[in-house]
Each structure stands twice: as C-alpha cells, then as structure tokens.
Copies of this chain bind each other. A is one copy, B any other.
C-alpha cells in the first residue's frame, strides 16, 4: 500500500539525520496521498539508525492506523491537523533542531535578515502562542496543530512554510515530504544566522522589503526565474 510514498517518506526522514537536524528520536516526517486521504509517518520512539522502510505507518485523516506494525509518531495528530488546514501541502516535518528550537524557547519569531531566508520564506517566521492548561490536558498534539492552523487562518501558509511552537520545536511543510525537510534546513540555517547576526550587531533591522520581495519572487510565482523550471 502506497509503496512509493512510503519510500519517499522514509528517505525524507533519513534526510533529517543527514542534515544534522535530529538527535535520537526527536523528529518525524510525513507525506500524504491526497487521492486516498492517507498519510505515511515515522513510528513513535524508533531511533533513526534502526529505522527501516518497513517501519513506516499509514494513517487516515481520522487518525486511524491503516497499516503498520508500530504506533505512529505521538505527533501524528499535529500532522493530521496541518493536512486538514493546509489543503495544498503534501508533506510535514517536525524537528527539535538546535537553533530553531532555541528561538522557540526564547519565545520569539525569526526576523528576515537576509536572502537565504527570503529565498524560501516570506517575512518573519512566526512563533505561535502557548497552549492553555486545558489545551495541554486534552488532546495536546491535536491542539498543537489547531493553534498553528489558527495562526495561519488569514495568512499565506505557502509563502511561510514554517512555524515555531513555543518552548517546543518547529514544524515545516511543503509540496511533499522532501520539500518539508528542505524547509527545515532553511529554517535551521536562518535561525542560526539570525542569532549570529544579532551577536555581531545587536542593533540590526530586517532586510529591506524590496530585497525580500526580489528574492522570494525570484524563486516563487509566475515570474520566477531561479533553477531549471518554474515551480508551481
């Protein structure tokens, strides 16, 4: 079932390790098949150096396990809410990568200080609000997803494919699982360089708006000219 998708999701999970975004079991990637409404996700608590393609779990959009010998990631309910709210995405990645998580722990969004960030993400990467005690007690993981969806209700989740969950970590998304992981790479590097830049000069401002616009639209939308063909 969904063998090709499982392979892609497995490989995307292993890329988290390759890019140094994950230690022990602290991260997971999923990918969805929009036709069947089923998504594939990493099993819970399995370490990356023991993870195999056969360990992937298939889940439906009610959260039922459809295939797989393991429990799916405890963060499955968060992925599910993102797939329901963000109907154009095909993949989601969750990590505790060091710099992105440190901004989340600091409770601050990441300003756009340069083109590395602007090439992929338009504007400040948001840090969403804390969950209330009630939201934590009941359906914590689902509520984590709902809070992200709430934030993006009137915002463009395609232009900003990343979010920081306060005192926790990050979620990124994209057209597929690979794209979600690539955005996790961009997020971590942007988070690191934003911190470095403020260490070097505590008085900096975000990059000029015209430069942010130029770089974002050089890679996205109808007039994009970066790479070998225009992304949809």
Q: Are A101 and B74 in contact (CB under 8 A)?
A: no
A95-111 vs B, Cβ < 8 Å mask (1 yes, 0 no): 01011011111111000
Q: Are B167 and A115 in contact (CB under 8 A)?
A: yes
A26 and B194 alpha carbons, distance in the complex (Å): 17
Stretch at the interface among A29-37, A81-89, A221-229: A221-229
Q: Are B108 and A200 in contact (CB under 8 A)?
A: yes
Stretch at the interface among A4-12, A43-51, A59-67, A148-156: A43-51
Q: Are A201 and B43 in contact (CB under 8 A)?
A: no
Query: Hey, which chain B residues are within 8 Å of A195, CB to CB?
Result: 196, 199-200
CB contact between A169 and one of B115, B130, B208 (< 8 Å): that residue:
B115
Q: Is the CB of A158 closer than 8 A to any CB of chain B?
A: no
A189 and B115 alpha carbons, distance in the complex (Å): 21
Copies in the complex: 4
A226 and B11 alpha carbons, distance in the complex (Å): 23
Query: Hey, which chain B residues are within 8 Å of A105, CB to CB?
Result: 113-114, 193-194, 196-197, 204, 207
Q: Are A136 and B227 in contact (CB under 8 A)?
A: no
Q: How far is the CB of A168 from chain B (nearest CB, A)?
A: 5
Q: Are B228 and A46 in contact (CB under 8 A)?
A: yes
Q: How far is the CB of A230 from chain B (nearest CB, A)?
A: 11
Total interface residues in chain A, CB < 8 Å:
61
Query: Hey, which chain B residues are within 8 Å of A168, CB to CB?
Result: 114-115, 211
Q: How far is the CB of A121 from chain B (nearest CB, A)?
A: 14
CB contact between A201 and one of B23, B108, B192, B197 (< 8 Å): that residue:
B108
Q: Which residues of chain A (177-222) have a CB below 8 Å from chain B?
A: 182, 185-186, 189, 192-201, 204, 207-208, 210-211, 214, 218
Query: Hey, which chain B residues are within 8 Å of A192, CB to CB?
Result: 98
Q: How far is the CB of A68 from chain B (nearest CB, A)?
A: 11
Q: Are A193 and B102 in contact (CB under 8 A)?
A: yes
Q: A136-B211, A185-B23, A195-B200 are in contact. Are A101 and B116 (CB under 8 A)?
A: yes
Q: Are B45 and A227 in contact (CB under 8 A)?
A: yes
Q: Jot down 8 A-B pairs with beta carbons below 8 A, ordered by A.
A: A26-B116, A44-B226, A74-B218, A102-B199, A106-B198, A114-B167, A115-B168, A137-B214
